[in-house]
Structure formats: structure tokens, C-alpha cells
């Protein structure tokens, strides 16, 4: 098979971004970047499943209801899922396929992740393993569960099917942040970018696989760092400001949609120029 072609490349360009009729899953979709990505996908027309881990079930349901009511009641549903558990991930993906997708799935955003700054020389074994278990393994379990559905659909349709898998990586895959010491985080994100490229080649018959590498985004993940570090980073970013999470939703819709139909294996850096100097 070939990378599935765009069904109508000559259509006016905004139609290329439409996700009408598609079903998407966003892991870690109840706060931060994932929440805004979920909003963006829904605004573009997709039914969206958002997964959560430590968020309370009632809060997650409220968030899903808010996104739905802001988008003509389009289906948005929250599912509890610890991405470290293969059983959890597989069960949630199959549930979403049945409950939201009428047997189908189109988009998987493997976004859930954690960060921590700990000097490498002191890194406790369990914490180093946990970082990779969430940021790399968990992202892979999510991608793999989606890929199985995509492959199944391609076989059933007897035609090329192009699902979209999007990993939230980081500029930390490309550079080493200072002054924070975060070798585990940086290397987990570098692994994720190369995992994405590898899967893009291996799964070309039924999926496009890309990653997005954000710079400094104003979420709880950034809040854990001391204020003086934020001043240092602000000086280092040519754009001299941090990014609001909602400023990322367009790039996720781009990768999820036919607007990027020939793009696979790419890592899109969105960082106000931070990686340039
Ligand atoms: N903020 C930045 O500057 C920045 C920059 C580059 C890349 N990123 C990446 O962007 C992604 C989202 O981060 P964020 O900034 O939005 O941070 P955040 O607000 O801390 O959100 C982290 C998300 O990951 C979920 N999560 C954590 N552990 C999980 C687990 N074991 N199973 C399932 N879900 C889990 C959380 O769900 P619950 O809240 O329900 O626990 C939450 O939705 C991460 O992969 C991060 O590395 C962030």
C-alpha cells in the first residue's frame, strides 16, 4: 500500500483543516496543552475523547461537557487512563472506538507527560524509570493501540487509510535546557522524537506519525520552576515571551487533518525561536 492520498487536494484550503466526522483521543486532555488540543480538534469538527489520570472524574466530566456545549453539543467524553498501564490504554482506546467512533478512530494525540528537575548524579532509580515509563512507554502504548485500530480499518476498507498519530515531544529533545537539570526529561523527549520517526516508516500503510516540540508553554508544568528561572528563559527566547497553550491548537489540527496529508515523520518545533541561537 501507499501513504493514503488526499481525497480532494484541489478543494479550497480551509476545507483541508476540517475534522468533521473524525474521532480523536487526547491523552492528558483535561489540563494544560492537552486540554487546548482537545478544544481545537473539537472546534475543527472532531468528536473527542480526553483522558485523565489524577484529575477527579467529576472535574473531567465537567471539562468534557464544557467543550461539548461550546461546540454545538458535539460528543466529547472523558476517560480515566493511566498511560503506564497497557491494559488501561488498550481498554480505553477500544471503548472510545465503540462509544464515540461507531467502530472507528482517526486521531491519537499521545500528549500525557511529566517533567522533573533532578541532578543526574543523584537521580533515584524509581524516578528515572517512571519518567521513561510515562513519557516514552506510555506514549508508545497509546500510539500502538491506535495503530492496531487504524490497521484493522485499512484491512476492512480494502483501501489505504491514514490515521494520524501526534506525539507531544519538546524542544528538550533538541537542546539541553539550563539552568534546570533534567537529563531524564530531555532524553525521554529525544527518544520520543525518534520513536515517532521510526513508527512513521513502519506504519506508513495506515498512519501518519509526527511529533510536535513546544518550547515554554504556560501550564502547570512550567509553574513548578522558580520565578528567577523564568526570567532567564525569557531572556533566552528571541520572542521574549512564553506561549499560551491555546496558541498550539492550530498546529495539532494541522497535523491531525488533511492539511498535512503528505507529512509523516516530521518534528514541528514551536518555540518563539528558542532553539535558533
Ligand atoms: N509546558 C511546557 O512548557 C511544555 C513544553 C514542551 C513539552 N511539553 C509536554 O506537553 C505535554 C503536556 O504537558 P503540560 O505542559 O500540559 O503539563 P501538565 O499541565 O502538567 O499536564 C500533564 C498531563 O499529563 C497527564 N499525565 C501525567 N501522568 C500521567 C499518567 N501516568 N497517565 C496519564 N496521564 C498522565 C496529566 O493528567 P492528570 O492531570 O489527569 O493527572 C496532565 O493532563 C507533556 O508531554 C509535556 O512534556 C510541555
pLDDT digit string, tens, across residues 47-68: 999 999 999 999 999 999 999 9
Is there a contact between 210 and 266 (Cβ–Cβ < 8 Å)?
A: yes
What is the distance in A from the centroid of ligand 1 to the CA of 208? 23
Q: Is 272 in the pocket of ligand 1 (CB under 6 A)?
A: no
Give nearest CA residue, ligand 1 atom 42.
28
Tell me how far the alpha carbon of residue 221 lies from the centroid of ligand 1, in angstroms: 7
Please confirm whether the linkage preceding 179 is cis (ω < 30° from 0): yes
Tens digit of each residue's pLDDT (9 = 90 or more) over 123-163? 999 999 999 999 999 999 999 999 999 999 999 988 777 89
pLDDT at 189 (0 to 100): 98
> In ligand 1, which atom is closest to the CA atom of 242?
3
Superfamily assignment of 13-270 in CATH? NAD(P)-binding Rossmann-like Domain (3.40.50.720)
The SS3 assignment for 19 reads: coil
pTM above 0.85, yes or no: yes
Q: For position 118, what pLDDT does the model report?
A: 95
Q: Show the cell assigned to 76.
A: 466529547
Cell of 174: 533538541
Q: Per-residue pLDDT tens for 188-210?
A: 999 999 999 999 999 999 999 99
Task: Please give the helix or strand (H or E) that residue 26 lies within, else none.
Answer: strand 23-26
Which residues neighbour 106 within 8 Å (Cβ) at sequence distance 6 or greater? 19, 22, 23, 24, 46, 163, 164, 256
Amino acid at each position: 500500500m501507499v501513504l493514503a492520498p488526499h481525497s480532494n487536494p484541489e478543494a479550497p484550503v480551509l476545507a483541508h483543516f476540517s475534522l468533521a466526522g473524525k474521532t480523536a483521543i487526547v491523552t492528558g486532555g483535561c489540563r494544560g496543552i492537552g486540554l487546548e488540543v482537545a478544544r481545537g480538534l473539537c472546534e475543527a469538527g472532531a468528536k473527542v475523547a480526553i483522558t485523565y489520570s489524577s484529575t477527579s472524574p467529576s472535574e473531567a466530566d465537567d471539562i468534557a461537557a464544557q467543550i461539548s456545549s461550546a461546540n454545538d453539543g458535539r460528543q466529547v467524553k472523558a476517560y480515566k487512563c493511566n498511560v503506564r498501564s497497557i491494559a488501561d490504554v488498550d481498554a480505553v482506546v477500544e471503548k472510545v472506538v465503540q462509544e464515540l467512533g461507531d467502530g472507528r478512530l482517526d486521531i491519537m494525540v499521545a500528549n500525557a507527560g511529566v517533567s522533573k528537575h533532578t541532578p543526574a548524579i543523584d537521580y533515584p532509580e524509581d524516578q528515572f524509570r517512571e519518567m521513561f515509563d510515562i513519557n516514552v512507554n506510555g506514549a508508545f502504548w497509546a500510539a500502538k493501540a491506535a495503530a492496531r485500530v487504524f490497521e484493522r480499518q485499512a484491512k476492512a476498507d480494502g483501501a489505504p487509510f491514514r490515521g494520524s498519530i501526534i506525539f507531544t515531544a519538546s524542544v528538550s529533545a533538541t537542546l539541553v535546557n539550563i539552568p534546570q537539570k533534567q537529563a531524564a526529561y530531555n532524553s525521554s523527549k529525544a527518544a520520543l522524537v525518534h520513536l515517532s520517526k521510526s513508527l512513521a516508516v513502519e506504519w506508513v500503510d495506515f498512519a501518519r506519525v509526527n511529533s510536535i516540540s513546544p518550547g515554554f508553554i504556560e501550564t502547570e508544568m512550567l509553574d513548578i520552576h522558580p520565578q528567577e528561572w523564568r526570567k532567564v528563559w525569557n531572556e533566552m527566547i528571541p520572542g521574549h515571551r512564553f506561549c499560551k497553550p491555546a496558541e498550539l491548537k492550530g498546529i495539532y489540527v494541522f497535523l491531525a487533518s488533511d492539511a498535512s496529508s503528505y507529512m509523516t515523520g516530521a518534528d514541528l518545533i514551536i518555540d518563539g525561536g528558542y532553539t535558533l541561537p
